[in-house]
Amino acid sequence: MTIAPGAGGPSKLPLADEAATLTEGRAVLGIELGSTRIKACLIGLDHTPLATGSHKWENQFSDRVWTYSLDAVWSGVQDAVASVREDAERRHGVRPQSFAAVGVSAMMHGYLAFDAEGQLLVPFRTWRNTNTDAAATRLTELLNHNIPMRWSIAHLYQAVLDEEPHVTDVSFVTTLAGYVHWRLTGQKVVGAGDASGIFPLRAHSCAYDDQKLKIVDSLLANLGFATPLLDLLPRPLAAGRPAGTITAEGALLLDPTGSLAAGSPMCPPEGDAGTGMVATNSVSPRAGNVSAGTSIFAMVVLEDALRHVHHELDVVTTPAGDPVAMVHCNNGASELGAWAEVFGQFATALGHTTDANEVFETLLTAALDGEADGGGLLSYNYLSGEPIAEVAEGRPLFVRTPGSKLTLANFMRSQLYGAFGTLSLGMRTLAAEGVRIDSMFAHGGLFKTAGVAQRLLAASLGVPIAVGRTAGEGGSWGMALLASYLLEGDGDTLADYLGARVFAQADLQVCAPLDDDVAGYAAFLERFRHGLTIERAAVAALH
């Protein structure tokens, strides 16, 4: 592992200046609604975090739909905002009353449908749902553009196909980030990256593709759904464009006590893929990043259009509207977290009360002592369906043969390998397209444990993986950077702004793939590919 030159970004402000930044409302707030945690990050004039806060939450599988309630959205956002303000007061003696700018991001895709009065028509359908296969398949064929099952347009078309009663009342369809932004500002907009997971955008633009809109409008009209999509979808905006200000009602949504001022400007709301690209400075051609959380996905900014349509590859955009190939896997680190909880319970049963983070770090570190191929063990992290692997529903599995070597180290290595398995399948399709990658960055809580997931990810992708100091902050920090870009862009492209103003002195740990790990992972992936038959059988057998 090597450390790239640099001092970790611009020099840190003296504490007195940090307090003044907070007191004078010059700090910038980024909020991200992730799958298991809502994070908030306050950054100062040097773009480094001044305070952080978070709120734990979890999706529900209700009536065979993965969802979160809107009450949970707002109670979680309020708790995260209160938490970051408390952290600012604890660190700097100031509880900020206003912000220079605010940005909101959230899990991409999914379906939030509202009537003309702004009432939610059906429970929020998240990216995790895989009941839209018929719609996604038909749209992909008609548009010659991969439309994944989780995209908003697939959810809307499937609802029309299924003749769901609510579709006659649909007046507005948006994403989770778009919804929160709308309630805070009154503006029905989304950032370009988030919009590209609602409906395809025109190449190198921030507008929905006109020709594709006509095709789908005609398709829906033939089924009795006559409202043009442009009347239903939020307006896409490029990074750096003004996207409204926080209203008095919006300020109360962030802080019901009324101690937050209205009027802060907001940047376009983004999806977590876009904030991941920003947080890792991966917005230029041939740059890529991996984000690992409840889901795991890789983004690679394209030089040229893909030659073929692949169900493993989404074509989305950066927040600036540049084309990106995305390998999105529905399942990431949740199964690792579940096993860590079991081992923590075991430690407690032995009389050792242990911090959950310490348990997780200890288990991850053990993976480094495992055999290169995981000792013949096989793990699947499929809590929900996995379209890339053509698995309809989730059945987490751990499988071994009598000859496999079951040790803690091998078990944990196989779990990490399994978390990266589906991603590897998709990335091999991208490589077959001839897409070149100059740099690959990783972020997310999985990479807080130095040198473990990073090293094994490098083996799984066969490229060096870089991790920065803010890897654990992830999207909330990236969203704060987008809000700063709104204030400080001064005509610079997003890539130039990030390169010159934020990452010029970035402190990165770079881990190159080790030959033994690469060979061992290749053997594991071959087992993983053949073992998908077992996974599909489990879906069929266990209802």
Digit-coded pLDDT (tens) for 484-538: 999 999 889 999 999 999 988 777 889 999 999 999 999 999 999 999 999 999 9
E-strand spans in 245-389? 270-271, 287-292, 296-301, 314-317, 323-329, 378-380
Instruction: Decide if pLDDT at 74 tops 60.
Output: yes
99, 29 in Cβ contact below 8 A? yes
Q: What percent of the chain has pLDDT over 90?
A: 83
Q: Where are the alpha helices (DSSP H) in 93-209?
A: 133-143, 152-161, 176-185, 192-195
pLDDT for the residue numbered 448: 81
pLDDT for the residue numbered 1: 40
Domain boundaries, the chain: 109-174+199-232
User: Over the stretch 22-43, which tens digit does the pLDDT of each residue have?
Assistant: 999 999 999 999 988 999 999 9
Task: Round to whole Å and give the CA distance between 260 and 27.
Answer: 13
pLDDT-based confidence at 316, cuts 50/70/90? very high
Instruction: Decide if pLDDT at 2 tops 60.
Output: no
Task: Round to whole Å and give the CA distance between 282 and 135.
Answer: 32
pLDDT for the residue numbered 6: 31
Contacts of 181 (CB under 8 A, 6+ apart): 104, 187, 189, 190, 243, 244, 266, 268, 269
Instruction: Decide if pLDDT at 7 tops 60.
Output: no
**Helices and strands (H and E) in the chain: how many:** 16, 21
**Angle at 458 (CA atoms; ends 30, 338), nearest 5 degrees:** 65
Q: Categorise residue 190: left if φ over 0, alpha if ψ from -120 to 50, beta otherwise.
A: beta
Element (H, E) at 467: strand 465-468
Report the pLDDT averaged over residues 371-387.
Answer: 95
The mean pLDDT of the chain is: 93
User: Over the stretch 440-484, which tens digit does the pLDDT of each residue have?
Assistant: 998 877 888 878 999 999 999 999 999 876 555 678 999 999 999
Report the pLDDT averaged over residues 421-441.
Answer: 92
Q: Which two tokens stand for residue 450?
A: 């130095």
User: Over the stretch 149-174, which tens digit does the pLDDT of each residue have?
Assistant: 999 999 999 999 999 999 999 999 99
pLDDT-based confidence at 3, cuts 50/70/90? very low
pLDDT-based confidence at 234, cuts 50/70/90? very high
185, 266 in Cβ contact below 8 A? yes
Beta strands at 172-174 and 49-56: parallel, antiparallel or unpaired: unpaired
Task: Round to whole Å and give the CA distance between 521 and 465.
Answer: 16
pLDDT for the residue numbered 5: 31
Eight-class DSSP state of 126: -
User: Over the stretch 194-231, which tens digit does the pLDDT of each residue have?
Assistant: 999 999 999 878 999 999 999 999 999 999 999 999 99
113, 166 in Cβ contact below 8 A? yes
User: Over the stretch 116-145, which tens digit does the pLDDT of each residue have?
Assistant: 999 999 999 998 888 999 999 999 999 999
